[in-house]
Structure 1
Amino acid sequence: MNRWRKRWWMGVVTAACLLALACPQARALTEDEKNNIELYRQLSPGVVNITSTVLERDFFFNIVPRQGAGSGSIISEEGYILTNHHVIEDARKLEVTLANGKKYAAKFIGSDPNTDIAVIKIDAPKKDLVVIPMGSSRDLKVGQKVLAIGNPFGLGQTLTTGIISSVGRTLRSPGGALVEDVIQTDASINPGNSGGPLIDSSGKMIGVNTAIFSPTGANVGIGFAIPVDTVKQVVRELIEKGYYGYPWLGATLMTLFPDFAEALQLSVNRGAMIVEVVPGGPADKAGLRGGHARAQVGNYVLIVGGDVIVGIDGEPVDSADDLMRALRRYRPGNRVRLDVVHWEGDRDRVTVILGERPRRYRYR
């Protein structure tokens, strides 16, 4: 009897397990999961795939086409698409694939290597264009949930989630400039997702995914996004002029370190030392002076004799980077007051009318 009863219970348990597998009960979704699903449903149609064709030379110096892929966000019903500069750099042909699979030839509108931001445009029916709304990156908090949407291969959108790991990071752009207030996130930014939006839990774009930090090229949970407040400032001019005009001092600078200042017997030990002024540039017109002699300090050969900038509009300047960061708050044509220490030790306050930095890059 015991053996029969044991077999009967084993049969009941087996039948119950099979029934559970055949008819699983739907697990209730958490509120966070519902939020992820809804945001992906609403916004993923606004994320596109961008295929760029670049001409380069092969081993035998023949010119051959090479294709690259990235992502972008639709930012207006007129067909403007926001992406990274490095996604479309040097492209001879641009093609956009929408979420519905339709493909369109894209026109280059403008690009800024110094923020790694670019705008392209397609002529598509408004009914096919889902606009990604822009929010603000001003009050972001570490720990805040973010979502990264990309369309890396034109086969469909991908979603990754994470948190803001840090704010206020500094990242060097492909153009060599320092980009301020960069967002760091652990949401996976995989190859091909560059140019896609970083979104907060309310469904607003707070950044443009631009890079990962990885010694091996694989994602290790350190991704970066250009803050949307920077994006909005740059995009406006890209659409209007095709480029972003930066304020220009017209001088080559180097950071004056205490060791250098001591060796050179200067009266100030920190600041932005002017190495060279551009003839006819804003600094030259204001009477600022560059270096005129060479001096060896340890293993370094320095161009010395130039003025040292130690303040701008009442704020201290301890390095060349300090000055460049401060200048980004201004626009071409603005006046700035620079506190200057001349090579002989005299202090002065000089007013400079900033120019517009000459464009180093030419686009079609």
Structure 2
Amino acid sequence: MKLYSRSQVLFYSAATALVVILLLMGFGVLSFAGKPNSIDENLVSTELPVEDLLMTSDLNLNLGLNMNNNGDYSADELNNIRIYEALNEAVVNVTTEVVGYNWFLEPVPQEGASGSGSIIDKRGFVLTNNHVVDKAFKVYITLADGTQYEGEVIGTDYENDLSVLKFDPGDQDLVTIPFGTSQNLKVGQKVIAIGNPFAFERTLTTGIVSGLGRPLKNDAGLVIRDMIQTDASINPGNSGGPLINSKGEIIGINTMIYSPSGGSVGIGFAIPVDTARRVVPDLIAYGMVQRGWIDIVPVQLFPSLVRYAHLPVSRGILVSRVVTGGNAEVAGLEGGSSREVVRSGSSVICLGGDIIVGIDGKAVATLSDFYGGLENTRPGDTVIIQVVRGKQTREFNVKLSERPANN
């Protein structure tokens, strides 16, 4: 802000001085909008059948808002306003309680994580991030009118950091957000985020799609694939909230930010909505995602193991053991020998088994690749497994089993 000396002020006319004073007052008002302390969140969410939950609905954004037609609002602003008016009540605040312990090692309830969520069905189904509700023994869902309900976690997909919550809305007619698709997203297209950053409820921010197909590790150390990168301001409390396109449809679930300071620096990430489309019906019906599995004990190769066992390749998944009588054994995969074992930490590794280097033509070098190759499969599907056995590369058609809960 420019400062004026006494001589300069006298030099200007009274009218000019008045304008300057008014401008200074304006700047003073703006300067009061301080930043709240940020929380560090470096990379480190009528009766209908389940299959109808995720249908893209026609959202009527022509709300007849009481706006004059003298150009007060641009077309872009009008669309932002209409989307917010139509959808903000479908964004909820999710808070939790976790169990802590006092000095006498007695369990006591403590305030847990908080975040956002989207109402996706009028029966009270809410989509959010798993890390918002993980380890919570109580979950609370607060609507736009301040009404708070106790909810429950009815399904969790740890790999994609997604959870579905359920509460009983009674006779309340809930506003829901329709699902779009993330398949045809383009870098540069506009996006809108609605959430509860720093407990400022139903805050709207705008931005663009900054990048697509970003692979990022979640809290479980597994890679979430095809993440959407955006510069829309996302902060602690936005987790689990919707990323919305210009038609008013969810295209992503806001999940994490990259920030050296904890505040938004324009690098946020959202889980693509097509991932949610795929897993939410299973979460509602079964409480988990029914994925296919190769019934083996997989071990990711690491340098000391490769050197010790004189393995022919340095990257891939060693088949330490196969389940006796399982589909992998029936297909011809071979596990290691119980007579030749090594210990790595708390794990016992059987040597001599096949080394998986591909699933359905996609290279497998790490456990993340291995899980990723099975991400879109179902029990009963058949996949082509490429392995290295000795000095030969072979392929086997393996019928997938149901993935155990501990995998």
TM-score normalised over the length of structure 1:
0.83
Distance 2:78 2:285 in 1: 39
2:88 to 37, 44, 49: 44
1:34 corresponding residue in structure 2: 78
Superimposed CA distance per residue, residues 303-348 of structure 1 (whole angstroms, 9 cap, x where no aligned partner) = 53110223333455455443332222311111222232223x3443
Aligned to 2:221: 176
Match of 1:351, as an amino acid?
Answer: N
TM superposition shift of 1:72: 0.6
Per the alignment, residue 354 of structure 1 pairs with 400
Count of aligned positions: 349
- Provide, for residues 98-134 of structure 1, a one-character-per-residue CA deviation record: whole Å limited to 9, x for no partner: 1111122213221111111111112225654111111
- Choose which of 77, 94, 99 in structure 2 pairs with 1:55: 99
Unaligned ranges ≥5, structure 2: 1-9, 25-69
The Cα of 1:41 is off from its aligned counterpart by: 1.5
- Tell me by how many angstroms 1:291 deviates: 3.0
Look up the SS of the partner of 1:106 in the other structure: strand
Q: Which residue of 1 aligns with 2:258?
A: 213
Give 1:203 shift: 1.0
Structure 2 equivalent of residue 162 of structure 1: 207
The reply to whether residue 253 of structure 1 matches residue 270 of structure 2 is no
TM-score normalised according to structure 2 size: 0.75
Aligned 8 A contact 1:48 1:154 in 2: no
Q: Deviation string for 1:28-53 (max 9, x for gaps)?
A: 33332222222112111110011211
Gaps of 5+ in 1: 1-6
Residues 273 and 309 in structure 1, CA contact (< 8 A), matched pair in contact too? yes
User: 1:183 touches 1:207 (CA, 8 Å); kept in 2?
Assistant: yes
C-alpha distance in 2 between matches for 1:326 and 1:15 = 69
- The equivalent residue for 2:269 is 224
Q: RMSD of the TM alignment (CA)? A: 3.4
Are 2:125 and 1:80 aligned?
yes
Supply the distance in 2 between the matched residues of 1:39 and 1:237 (Cα, whole angstroms).
29
Letter in 2 for 1:178: V
SS in structure 2 at match of 1:331: coil
CA–CA distance in structure 2, aligned partners of residues 256 and 174 of structure 1: 22
Q: How far apart are the structure 2 equivalents of 1:323 and 1:202?
A: 36
Say if 1:216 and 1:277 are closer, same or farther in 2 by CA, change over 3 A: farther
**More deviation in 128-137 or 217-226?**
217-226
**1:97 aligned to which of 138, 142, 145:** 142
Alignment of 1:219-298 (within 5 A): 219-256=264-301, 266=311, 270-292=315-337, 293=340
2:386 pairs with 339, 343, 358, which one? 339
Residues in 1 aligned to 2:332 and 2:228: alpha-carbon distance in whole angstroms: 39
Distance in 2, matches of 1:247 and 1:191, equals: 34
Deviation digits for residues 264-312 of structure 1, max 9, x if unmatched?
555556543323334454323434223333579xxxx985311022333
* CA 17–279 in structure 1, closer or farther in 2 if over 3 Å, else same: same
Instruction: Mark the CA change 1:27 to 1:324 in structure 2 (over 3 Å): closer, same or farther.
Output: same
- Alignment CA distance shift 1:154-1:215 (3 Å): closer
Partner residue in 2 for 1:3 = none
Three-state SS of the structure 2 residue aligned to 1:138 is coil
- Over the matched positions of the two proteins, sequence identity in percent amounts to 47
- State whether residues 248 and 282 of structure 1, in contact with CA within 8 Å, keep that contact through their aligned partners in structure 2: no
Change (3 A) 1:44 1:268: same
Which residue identity is paired with 2:174? L
AA aligned opposite 2:395:
R
CA distance 1:311–1:191, shift in 2 (3 Å): closer
Tell me which moved more, 146-155 or 233-242.
146-155
Q: C-alpha separation between the residues in 1 aligned to 2:157 and 2:334?
A: 30
Q: Which residue of 2 aligns with 1:308?
A: 355
